[in-house]
Chains A and B, each alone.
Chain A
């Protein structure tokens, strides 16, 4: 399968890269919007309505998970031994656990907050961790080819 993805369908790699870049913009734009609200920006905007963008972040994430899997299947040797790949996965886990923690332990309480109220420290920490983790995912993703022990051409 990796042979097919890499060599026989020449347009597949650039297509998946383009989708991966669009997915990351959607993910960071939509998740970042809610993160900024958690950090205390855009006061007066109810957290509940700021959260309406989060499903779009999930759309971006789904696109990138799918295209990312295609990259991995195509060139497993480029990723498996690559430190940047594992740091990217680490920050994906940080972002995921942070989001789950928010949903299970803080969401209900924060959603009841008055639109003009100062967001509590817990909300600010979750928002900051989320923003930092997603940009770290982007950073290590883009640095992947340059930290590759077996570099490929055409990056």
Chain B
């Protein structure tokens, strides 16, 4: 816990938490939402397509999606760490925060598995959408929904 106390007391953490500039906490929090929209939005679009309820867009359209998912993920890892420092002692013991982190890592694991199963080649065949792929796509939607809700509940649950 000494580490989290120290972290929360660094000049950086103080700047993020209490600088009156809109560029500090408000903008970092807003960028965290931008990153979420990019990661979750991209994964959801892929899931809907794999489930056959996102129309007939060729799977080739989604081959380069990881670039977007990674961009969003890097934004959110960086802004998430910055937000964590402002309230490190509390966050380190907040259950819903660990629920959120677990759901994100599970969702990214499912995403990696789907990339491997379907998007190995530049022109993925439609036949690569197996029962397992569809089940994983449903799982992905559930996990991202859970992660988003858990993130929001961090403002409400101890």
Contact = CB atoms under 8 A, between A and B. Distances in A.
Contact of A53 (B45, B144, B153, B155): B45
Interface stretch (B7-15, B55-63, B112-120, B132-140): B55-63
15 contacts: A25-B40, A28-B38, A29-B41, A42-B64, A45-B58, A50-B57, A52-B54, A52-B57, A56-B48, A138-B30, A138-B33, A139-B30, A139-B34, A142-B26, A146-B26
A106 interface: no
Contacts of B45: 29-30, 33, 53, 56
A50 B54 CA distance: 9
A25 B30 contact: no
A135 interface: yes
Interface of A: 14, 17-18, 21-22, 24-30, 32-33, 37, 42, 44-45, 49-50, 52-53, 56, 135, 138-139, 142-143, 146-147, 154-155
B90 to A, nearest CB: 14
Interface string B16-45: 000000100111011001101110111111
Contact of A17 (B34, B42, B64, B152): B152
A142 B152 CA distance: 12
Contacts of B153: 14, 18
Nearest to B38: A28
Contacts of A146: 22, 25-26
A28 B42 CA distance: 9
A50 B153 CA distance: 34
Contact of A49 (B41, B57, B152): B57
B115 to A, nearest CB: 17
A154 B155 CA distance: 7
A18 B62 CA distance: 27
Given A135-B34, A143-B30, 13 more contacts: A21-B151, A25-B36, A25-B148, A30-B44, A30-B48, A45-B57, A49-B56, A53-B45, A56-B48, A142-B29, A143-B22, A146-B25, A154-B155
Interface string B44-73: 110010000011111011001000000000
A78 to B, nearest CB: 15
